[in-house]
Structure 1
Amino acid sequence: MATKIIEWDISKPPFRIENLEGYRKVLVLVRMDGVPLGLVRMDTPFPSLEAEDLLREIHRRLGEKIRAKIKERRSKPVLSSAKGIEDRPSCPHLPAPSTLPRVSVCICTRNRPEDLRRCLDSLRVQDYPNYEILVIDNDPPTLATKDLVATYPSITYLMEPKRGLDFARNRAIQEAKGEILSYIDDDAVADPRWISSLVKNFLSDPEIMCCTGPNLALEMETEAQELVQALIELRGGLGQGFEKRIYDLNSPVGSCYPCKPIFGVGCNMSFRKKVFDLVGPFDEALDTGAALPGGGDTDMFYRIIRAGYKIAQDPCVLVWHRHRRLYKELRSQLYNSWGRGFMAFLVKSFLTDKPYRRTLLSAILVWYGYQLISCVLGRLRGKYEFPMDLILAEFLGGVVGLGSYFASRKRIAKIKAKRGAKDEVPQFREA
């Protein structure tokens, strides 16, 4: 049975939730004045859910946070934005539209026109006045994506012939005209205030070079999608929490920092364009298609922190992502991206960042310890509720990942040599 996903703003009149036939649970994104506060899950034994029952559960789970927000709202005046839209104290207002930075929204895609259409439609209704949309079609097997983009006159279509996500990401850097580059996956939907919310973070502090936000489930209709959500919750949200955070090199986050995947995900990440001059482009040996489909986003976050800059994580910078629908797709993702890709990032960083080798070695050992003790043994003892074949897929991916970066690096060198380009390993640079 599936889970129905809804949004509920407690600052607006409550309503009864209908049409729950076929759903065993609801997952509610709770907002206040548009600002996300958290997720609340409830069983749905009936075809509808009364507003009073849901409100009771919301206040039980998020009551302390709601009271804090009410107190904050009463203590500060409401600000008026340049567009005449009210902004609550938690979302500072933007300056006049004529002074706002240009944002280049970049969608790297390959052969998913239906997903892409939904993503583009969400981007066309953003409340931000100064942005462009680039679609980077990565080694396309058909003209479907090009034909789709042609129906959107204001959107720029680019074809990147070298297959690999980081090739497409770097092509976006070359072509973008904006001061800020925002990456969103083709199977994601942007919140209407996504761009304006991320821009506010960059305007707040010149040392912020990257901004991320929650990557919430667009649908939970299959077993695989339910399992992805369960895994995200088991891992503490994977950097997708609902408290605003600013990370830098001195953030008190515990051991193995900044090697842990806590900063966000590539589905929802934005950068000042100049940061790529400071820390280098995306590493094309990571997130490079079937050869090594993962690690590129984590590597970029790590290099930004190691270079002495800041990453903002803001719950208002929200996208909805269609997670893998099929079980075999989820197993492949855990093996390739979560296991092999993450380990390849750690190995690459160990080789290139000598001052942090001890921390990186600790991160590698901690990862294997967590996988074996917490996941594998925990599952055998009934303390870790996740399918064993998926646990083993991620673990085996991590084992294979020890050698994956070397093989991928050789492949990239050959690809670049054919085009007369020099192959260099992007790595962090001291500020």
Structure 2
Amino acid sequence: MISLSSQQEANSITKTIDFTVAIPTWNGAERLPQVLDRLLAQTGIERLRWEVIVIDNNSSDRTPEVVRDYQTKFTQCDLKYFLESQQGLTFARLRAINEAKGKFVAFLDDDNLAAPDWILQSYNFGEEHSLAGAWSGQIHGDFEVKPPDNFSQIQAFLAVREHGQKPYIFDAINLKLPPGAALVIRKQAWLESVPQNLVFKGRLGNLMVAGEDTEVLLHLHKSGWEIWYNPKMEIHHKIPHWRLEKNYLIKIARGCGLCIFQLRLINTRKSQLPLILLRTTLGNLRRIFHHIIKYKYNLGTDTIALVEVNFYLGSLMSPWCSLLFYFHRLINK
């Protein structure tokens, strides 16, 4: 805990950093000020050595100028700017890990507004749970417009996660893992467990294939690290009106489904591949059939039902998507 200051004092002597906040961004000039203002308002961390790094993933707006303006305001810690020219969230996060000086690296998206004690609660949790390779907290939706009825059924596709007030270890075997937004990583765990050449690069292209967050966490799990939910960590996720439009939600859900088979291969022995293929195919065919029976004539008009069935369709197609990734890697070797 921070109240026990011996570790912080030792770190101060050796000039090490306790905590890094990494913010990958693309054209985030309008969004970044709110994120940075929330970090300036953090409480209870006076004895903590921390830093903020902004990873600019080829922005064409005023992002560099915004960061430069804020650098004069960050007197309690360093605010650093890095340009990552390889497009994709995965490249931005890899760059963040390489540049971060902190023992713990916390990823904030450029639309994540941290609660006043978010750094404090994030740091303390890592100190208290030595086997935790990554941990995440509550992510509340801050909606520009009212979401559709029953939105809670699909809110996870927009990285809204509210799992109650008790901490627990996520079920990595069944891919029940947190998003990368507001995720804290033990840097040692990443360096020991996560390969440099990851399959998923971020939501690039029209298919918007997801999986980059879960891929990292599955590699941590495979190496024996625990993935935790810490409800004391809270952020608000700004969600503009266009992210609640039906077509966007359908694309997001389908993209989340298309990565499923490839993700399951990370913790699967080669001998189990036929079984995983069979389970993926039959399981999603069953879900689609039950969905059609449940909604019948409303399937075309019910946004929630459409989003869910597109996730199942994406999952059903995910073995073919995995094959495309395999050939792509062969071509680019």
Structure 1's unaligned 5+ residue stretches are 1-79, 83-92, 418-422, 424-431
Partner of 1:320: 236
Partner of 2:259: 344
The correspondence for 1:305, drawn from 206, 209, 221, is 221
Between the aligned partners of 2:142 and 2:86, the Cα distance in structure 1 is 30
More helix by share: 2
Between the aligned partners of 1:360 and 1:160, the Cα distance in structure 2 is 36
Q: Structure 1 vs Structure 2: percent identity of aligned residues?
A: 18
CA contact (8 A) 1:344 1:404 kept: yes
The correspondence for 1:286, drawn from 200, 221, 241, is 200
Q: Within 5 Å, give how 1:405-416 maps onto structure 2.
A: 405-408=322-325
TM-score, structure 2 normalization:
0.79
What is the Cα deviation at residue 354 of structure 1? 0.9
Structure 2's unaligned 5+ residue stretches are 12-16, 72-77
| Aligned CA distance change for structure 1 residues 395 and 98 (closer, same or farther; 3 Å) | same
The reply on whether 1:394 has 2:317 as its aligned counterpart is no
CA contact (8 A) 2:254 2:311 kept: yes
CA contact (8 A) 1:239 1:263 kept: no
Between the aligned partners of 1:366 and 1:113, the Cα distance in structure 2 is 46
What is the Cα deviation at residue 157 of structure 1? 1.0
For 2:315, the aligned partner's letter is G
Between the aligned partners of 2:286 and 2:111, the Cα distance in structure 1 is 30
Q: Within 5 Å, give how 1:10-159 maps onto structure 2.
A: 82=3, 97-98=8-9, 102-127=18-43, 128=45, 129-140=48-59, 142-153=60-71, 154-159=78-83
CA contact (8 A) 2:154 2:304 kept: no
Deviations 1:316-340 (A, max 9, x none): 111111235226755334434x333
The reply on whether 1:404 has 2:317 as its aligned counterpart is no
Between the aligned partners of 1:363 and 1:113, the Cα distance in structure 2 is 44
Instruction: Tell me the SS of whatever aligns to 1:136.
Output: strand
For 1:148, the aligned partner's letter is V
How many residue pairs get matched? Answer: 314
Instruction: Tell me the SS of whatever aligns to 1:326.
Output: helix
Partner of 1:240: 162
What is the Cα deviation at residue 146 of structure 1? 0.8
Between the aligned partners of 1:181 and 1:366, the Cα distance in structure 2 is 39
What is the Cα deviation at residue 152 of structure 1? 1.1
Instruction: Tell me the SS of whatever aligns to 2:31.
Output: helix
Between the aligned partners of 1:294 and 1:325, the Cα distance in structure 2 is 21
Partner of 1:187: 111
The reply on whether 1:176 has 2:95 as its aligned counterpart is no
| Aligned CA distance change for structure 1 residues 412 and 357 (closer, same or farther; 3 Å) | closer
Between the aligned partners of 2:193 and 2:161, the Cα distance in structure 1 is 22
| Aligned CA distance change for structure 1 residues 348 and 208 (closer, same or farther; 3 Å) | closer
Partner of 1:378: 294
Partner of 2:247: 331
Between the aligned partners of 1:263 and 1:187, the Cα distance in structure 2 is 20
Deviations 1:96-149 (A, max 9, x none): 643576111111111122122211111121122322111111122x14111111
Between the aligned partners of 1:375 and 1:126, the Cα distance in structure 2 is 45
Between the aligned partners of 1:412 and 1:136, the Cα distance in structure 2 is 26
CA contact (8 A) 1:160 1:168 kept: yes
CA contact (8 A) 2:243 2:249 kept: no
Between the aligned partners of 1:376 and 1:106, the Cα distance in structure 2 is 43
What is the Cα deviation at residue 363 of structure 1? 6.1
Partner of 1:200: 124
Between the aligned partners of 1:315 and 1:359, the Cα distance in structure 2 is 36
| Aligned CA distance change for structure 1 residues 222 and 162 (closer, same or farther; 3 Å) | same
Between the aligned partners of 1:195 and 1:318, the Cα distance in structure 2 is 10
Deviations 1:132-180 (A, max 9, x none): 111111122x141111111111421111111111011101011111111
CA contact (8 A) 1:259 1:302 kept: no
Using CA pairs below 8 Å that are at least 6 residues apart, which structure has the higher relative contact order?
2
Partner of 1:270: 184
What is the Cα deviation at residue 209 of structure 1? 0.9
Deviations 1:374-398 (A, max 9, x none): 5443222879975444334333433
